[in-house]
Structure 1
Amino acid sequence: MLETILPAGISPAIALLLIGISFLTSAFTAAFGIGGGVAMLGALAGTVSPAMIIAVHGLVQVGSNVGRTYIQRAHAVWPLVLRFAIGSLVGVALGATFVVALPERLLLGVLGGFILLMTWVPKPELPGLASGGIVIGGAVSTFVTMFAGATGPFVQALLLPLKLDKRQLIATQAACTMVQHLLKVLAFGALGFAYADWLPLVAAMILFGFAGTMAGTKLLETLPERWFLVTIRTVLTVVGLDLLRRAAGLWS
């Protein structure tokens, strides 16, 4: 019976794995601020066909960030979110033009390289971001997310130079990320992606992701951060290198 509500090619075991990973990655994000989106991207890359990874990831991230945005809405700097959204409209339009033309191996290579980049390369602050700069940043970030999926660290890099306090930074980043993932979901829907097939599974992933956020806030703060960071980096490095291997057609 469970098979009848799952997308084609997704077994009950894989569905349960993705739901569990959604819980864990949300807990990681609650504990470390960023990283859950990239980890979820890696998990989907190992279980979902390349043509579906970014679209499904976007739908999961919309649900995750809607919850965060609602809870933190009083602290979000909404004029910044509006400027980011204006740029995002340009970025998603450009991204939708090119994303359909990407061959599978190139997509795998982009995903693998992005995961390694997010894992190992420091995310610098971007100096000189005036009010108009956030519009440009929104366009670039949303264009990239059409191909790479998880650009939360890039969005954070855009906001850091603006001297927001901690609550403003977290809330504004959640709202900006929600906007770009929502636009991405709409774009992939317009390109013909069948979201209806994924709704039951994604709903379960979002629900358990929220539970992970709640549990992670209370539990993971008491555990050694260094141990978790080493574990996350190790897993993501293996995933990123494997994607590059598959992109190169080695040891298939």
Structure 2
Amino acid sequence: MEGMLELLSPLSAAINLGLVLLAALTSGVSAAVGIGGGTLLIMVMAQVMPATALIPVHGMVQLGSNGGRALMTWRHIDRGLLAAFLPGVVLGALVAAWLLVRLPPGVLELCIAAFVLYSCWGPGWPRGWLGRGGTLLAGALTTFLSSLVGASGPLVGAVIKQHFGERLPRVATFAACMSFQHLTKAFIFGVAGFVFHEWLALMVAMIVAGLAGTWLGLQLLRRLSDRRFDGLFKWVLTLLALRLIWLGLGRLGV
């Protein structure tokens, strides 16, 4: 068993096993609460994986997790919003692949946190921002940011939250948007020369475990009321935003 686990990636057998189990847990969290699993996963992966592999491997695992969740809830996906989001995803991916620009450390995290907190607790965005143009811009911006910081789920979740009051359409549409966003990372990091095959076995194992976690999480989701789900979704977003503030201030040296 240990020998098989060692073959999954350049990491040790114990770490590989831990990451596979964590993939199941975090996928269940995202399915049940709507968001948060991807951020939790990348926080742990950052402690044990090389920096060069972190974002592309996390992106492929999240593609499997979100893609599975989107397939399991496909009847609830808002196809109009998804169609408006996708051109922005393509635009953001192209910019990220060719434009290597970074804001000063810490500023990016604080900007995302401010956006998320306003979306959760502010008076709401102007109606024009929720239209097709605003959704396209959100797709481009979040895809670009995702390639720099790895987990843009809180930002995409804050955008999706403005469109839905019911839990299943929110979870399904969020999963579909994130699936296409993570799919672009194969292109972005392929262009950058990342060698995916060294991590392929681990990614497949984490995706399979994530699908199991997603199925269990969706069973819990269907038992929640829309009101309770909305409260959970809002507070998880808020906690993720507070974590970004803490990271941002730390990187600014405050």
Q: Distance in 1 between matches of 2:75 and 2:21?
A: 31
Q: Distance in 1 between matches of 2:252 and 2:218?
A: 39
**8 Å CA contact 1:86, 1:138 repeated in 2:** yes
Partner in structure 1 of residue 15 of structure 2? 14
- Tell me whether 1:193 sits opposite 2:171 in the alignment: no
**8 Å CA contact 2:119, 2:162 repeated in 1:** no
Structure 2: runs of 5+ lacking an equivalent: none
Relative distance call for 1:79 and 1:149 in structure 2 (3 A) is same
Relative distance call for 1:110 and 1:19 in structure 2 (3 A) is farther
Partner in structure 1 of residue 91 of structure 2? 90
Identity of aligned residues (%): 36
Q: What are the superposed Cα offsets for residues 213-236 of structure 1, whole Å, 9 maximum, x if unpaired?
A: 2334557989xx99xx89xx69x9
- Tell me whether 1:127 sits opposite 2:126 in the alignment: yes
**8 Å CA contact 1:58, 1:181 repeated in 2:** yes
Deviates more, 1:26-35 or 1:133-142: 26-35
Q: What are the superposed Cα offsets for residues 105-164 of structure 1, whole Å, 9 maximum, x if unpaired?
A: 96xx689x47x949x956445432112111111001111101112222222222233346
Q: How many residues align?
A: 232
TM-score, structure 2 as length reference: 0.76
**8 Å CA contact 1:123, 1:153 repeated in 2:** no
Question: Aligned-pair distance for 1:79?
Answer: 2.4
Partner in structure 2 of residue 54 of structure 1? 55
Q: Distance in 1 between matches of 2:119 and 2:19?
A: 28
TM-score, structure 1 as length reference: 0.76
Structure 1: runs of 5+ lacking an equivalent: none
Q: What are the superposed Cα offsets for residues 152-183 of structure 1, whole Å, 9 maximum, x if unpaired?
A: 22222222333464322221111111011101
**What SS does the aligned partner of 1:6 have?**
coil
Aligned partner letter, 1:79: G
Q: What is the RMSD computed on CA atoms of the aligned residues?
A: 3.6
Partner in structure 1 of residue 80 of structure 2? 79
**What SS does the aligned partner of 1:28 have?**
helix
**8 Å CA contact 2:66, 2:176 repeated in 1:** yes
Partner in structure 1 of residue 35 of structure 2? 34
